[in-house]
Structure 1
Amino acid sequence: MANREALRELQTRLASRLQAARTEGVSVAWLAVRVGGRNLLFPLGQSGEIFPLSSLQVVPYARDWFRGVLNIRGGLYGVVDLAAFIAIDTGHARAEPAGQEPSVVTLNTALDVNCALQVDGLLGLRGVDAFVSSEPADPDAPAYFGNQFKNSANEQWQEIDLRILSQTPQFLSISA
């Protein structure tokens, strides 16, 4: 129960920070998340809502990265273990989460895909001013990898284009 309250508090803080950023003219561009040991950035315009991962219904004969179906406010959403999906797509092993209770971030309804991405941790909102450098994704990276950023602590952040991800044939094909 305490985890749900903490998630609600985080959602409230994020919503108030986003509203403050709009009124103050501060550029907030991404939702920062931790997925399989990686720092990722989801564009706010492509991200939806954040929910705790609970009451997941497993789907038989689905790929390993497709966790199942979740009822969110009366709608059914497919839940993708993003770390496992990226690991398969990039050929890197999936790093295990650091023991945090996972959450899901739904895709924006404008993307027309009832999907939620499992994330290991929510790290707040980020704007361009949070980073000191950026460079394009590696040429061999998946098409949905956007720019790579580094912050002042020299931590690497990978932007994920959720629109491109949601249209990728591998992402849309969940049957094993």
Structure 2
Amino acid sequence: MKYCAFLRGVNVKGTNMKMAEVCEVFKNAGMKDVASVLASGNIIFSSEKSAQDLKIILEKAMSEYFNYEAFLFIKSVEEIESFWNSNPFDKNENLHIYAFVGHNEVEKVLMKEFESAEKTENEEGKIVNNNFYWQVPKGNTLDSTFGKILGKKNLKDQFTSRNINTFEKIMKKINS
């Protein structure tokens, strides 16, 4: 079965990794057909194991190899397609759209945080098919109240986010 692992906190705040090394760690952990998409920690691979088992195996392998506390989220091809196809926002060159990958029901936690945050003009959060999407004006991602909430330490093992365009790139690579 084909999967994509979404790593949290890669190549930010001093956690620097070369994707070729990350792919090697995945191969050494028994994954097949391993490839990376972008430098933000998106690893496509094949395995017959369940997503739950893969999370444990790969977090351990990454933590040991890179000497950090690894958090990653494993999604199937169908789940990745759902992220792309369920996007509720129209493309706009002045706005970023993010989708959040995480544990079951993390979308409810994120919506609660979003609803209590101050918002800028055109900033929106929506849940579609159990996926949380956030639209924010370009240049405001890290400065917005919600953007700052996303860095909370108590949420670090719950989710990671990707620009919606990343899902398109992942799907193209999976289907090539």
Q: What TM-score does the superposition give when structure 1 sets the normalisation length?
A: 0.29
Please state which structure has a larger fraction of its residues in strand.
1
